[in-house]
Structure 1
Amino acid sequence: MNIGVMGAGAVGCFFGGLLARAGHAVTLVGRPALVEAARAQGLRLQMKDGFDGPVAIGAATGPEALADADLVLFCVKSADTEATGRAMLPHLKPGAVVLAMQNGVDNAERLAAVLGRPVVPVVVYVATDMAGPAHVRHHGRGDLILGTGPDSERVAEVLRAAGIPASVSLGVTAALWDKLIINCAYNAVSAVAQVPYGAMVAVPEVRALMADVVAEAVAVARGQGIAVADDILDRVMALASAMPGQFSSTAQDLARGKRSEIDYLNGHVVRQGAALGIATPANGALLALVKLLEAKAG
Structure 2
Amino acid sequence: MKVAVMGAGAVGCYYGGMLARAGHEVVLIARPQHVEAIERDGLRLQTQHFDERVRVAASTEASAAHGAQLVLFCVKSTDTDSAAQALAPHLERDALLLSLQNGVENAGRLRELLPHEAAAAVVYVAAEMAGPGHVKHNGRGELVIEPSTKSDEVARAFVQAHVPTDISDNVRGALWAKLVLNCAYNALSAITQLPYGRLVQGEGITRAMRDVVDECLAVAKADDVTIPGDVDAAVQRIAETMPNQFSSTAQDLARGRTSEIDHLNGLIVRRGEALGVPTPANRLLHALVKTIESKGR
Which bracket does the TM-score occupy, shorter chain normalised? over 0.9
Q: Provide the TM-score with structure 2 as the length reference.
A: 0.98
User: Take 1:63 and 1:280, find their aligned partners in 2: how far apart are those partners?
Assistant: 39
Letter paired with 2:176: W
SS in 2 for 1:119: strand
Q: Is the 8 A contact 2:73 2:101 kept in 1?
A: yes
Per-residue CA shift, 1:33-57, capped at 9, x if unaligned? 11111000000000111x1110000
Instruction: Please list, as runs of the form range in 1=range in 2, the aligned pairs for 1:1-298 lying within 5 A after superposition.
Output: 1-49=1-49, 51-229=50-228, 231-298=230-297
User: Take 1:152 and 1:193, find their aligned partners in 2: how far apart are those partners?
Assistant: 39
Per-residue CA shift, 1:170-200, capped at 9, x if unaligned? 0111000000000000000000000011111
Where in structure 1 do 4 or more consecutive aligned residues deviate above 4 Å?
none
Higher mean C-alpha displacement, 148-157 vs 229-238: 229-238
User: Take 1:108 and 1:230, find their aligned partners in 2: how far apart are those partners?
Assistant: 22
Letter paired with 1:48: Q
SS in 2 for 1:278: coil
Note the C-alpha offset of 1:150.
Answer: 1.4
SS in 2 for 1:149: coil
SS in 1 for 2:256: coil
User: Take 2:194 and 2:10, find their aligned partners in 1: how far apart are those partners?
Assistant: 19
Per-residue CA shift, 1:140-191, capped at 9, x if unaligned? 0111000011111111111111111111100111000000000000000000
User: Take 1:9 and 1:167, find their aligned partners in 2: how far apart are those partners?
Assistant: 23
Letter paired with 2:4: G
Letter paired with 2:223: Q
SS in 2 for 1:102: coil
Q: Is the 8 A contact 2:6 2:75 kept in 1?
A: yes
SS in 1 for 2:26: strand
User: Take 1:29 and 1:162, find their aligned partners in 2: how far apart are those partners?
Assistant: 20
Note the C-alpha offset of 1:229.
Answer: 4.9
Q: Provide the TM-score with structure 1 as the length reference.
A: 0.98
Note the C-alpha offset of 1:230.
Answer: 7.5
Note the C-alpha offset of 1:231.
Answer: 3.1
Q: What is the aligned length?
A: 297
Note the C-alpha offset of 1:234.
Answer: 2.7
- Cα distance, 1:166–1:282 mapped onto 2, change above 3 Å: same
Letter paired with 1:218: L
Aligned-pair identity in percent equals 51
Letter paired with 1:175: A
Higher mean C-alpha displacement, 132-141 vs 199-208: 199-208
Report the aligned-residue RMSD.
0.9
Per-residue CA shift, 1:86-105, capped at 9, x if unaligned? 11011000011110000000
User: Take 2:27 and 2:229, find their aligned partners in 1: how far apart are those partners?
Assistant: 41
Unmatched 5+ stretches in structure 1: none
User: Take 1:16 and 1:234, find their aligned partners in 2: how far apart are those partners?
Assistant: 30
User: Take 1:222 and 1:110, find their aligned partners in 2: how far apart are those partners?
Assistant: 23
Q: Is the 8 A contact 2:173 2:228 kept in 1?
A: no
Note the C-alpha offset of 1:241.
Answer: 1.3
SS in 1 for 2:109: helix
Letter paired with 2:157: V
SS in 1 for 2:125: strand
